[in-house]
Amino acid sequence: MKIRPIAAAAALAAATVLLGACATGNKQPAAGGPASEVQVYSTTQLVPTQYTIVQHIWTDEWRSNISLPTFASADDGVQALKQKAADAGASGLLNVMCLDATGYSNGRLLCYGDAIRFSN
What is the per-residue pLDDT across 35-59, written as a single tens digit (0 to 9) for each? Answer: 889 999 999 999 999 999 999 998 8
Domain boundaries, the chain: 30-118
C-beta separation of 59 from 81 below 8 A: no
pLDDT over 70 percentage in the chain: 73
What average pLDDT score do residues 65-86 get?
A: 92
Fold for the domain defined by 30-118: Translation Initiation Factor IF3 (3.30.110)
Q: What is the amino acid identity at position 15?
A: A
With 0.75 as the threshold, say if the pTM is over it: no
In the chain, at which residue ranges do the beta strands (DSSP E only) sit?
39-41, 51-57, 70-71, 92-100, 109-118
Q: How many residues does the chain have?
A: 120
* Mean predicted lDDT score pLDDT of the chain: 80
For residue 103, what pLDDT is reported?
75
The answer for residues whose C-beta is within 8 angstroms of residue 76's C-beta and 6 or more apart is 109
